[in-house]
Amino acid sequence: MNDEFSEFDGEGLEDHLPTRVYRWKDLDGEQAAELWAELIAWVSWFRRRYSVTGSDAVIPPCWYRHPVAVEELTALMVSHQSAYTLDEPGSELSAFHVQWLWLTLRGLAERAGYKRCTDVKCSFKAPEVVDDPGGLEEWISDDIASRH
């Protein structure tokens, strides 16, 4: 064995690997395209594998139009990948199902706003978000000014 590598134990290897970003707001076009492709494939597989059509944990065909669904399904996909790709799997496989999967799916229709969506019609309407509903900037400015 080459002496140069004989004492290598893998420690610090993670420091040299590129970090994968899953925050949609931080992705450039190429990264978003890659994540969309991965997420679409995973959700398609997931809907068939877990039969989550027509149940209380439904994921409708229009899931991609619902920003909350995109965020939470991305998190489930990453959690699933993490649980199933460990070198030495353990309780993570069960934890994914018990702690994350079903709890997330049960309330997702309400949170994502697709409770009234059907296989042929999406009822999503983006809510109007007001960032300063009446004095936020003034409140923060006053708070900062009052601190000495």
pLDDT attached to residue 45: 93
Q: Enumerate the H helices of the chain as residue ranges.
A: 29-49, 67-84, 92-95, 102-112, 136-145
- Mean pLDDT lowest for which of 19-33, 79-93, 94-108, 118-132? 118-132
Does residue 97 surpass a pLDDT of 70? yes
pLDDT attached to residue 40: 95
pLDDT attached to residue 55: 59
Q: Quickly state the pLDDT bin for 16 (edges 50, 70, 90).
A: low
CA dist 31 to 18, 19, 108, Å? 13, 12, 25
Indicate yes or no: pTM above 0.75: no
Burial label, 27 (beta-carbon count in 10 A; 0-12, 13-18, 19+)? middle
Question: 56: which DSSP letter?
Answer: T
Does residue 15 surpass a pLDDT of 60? no
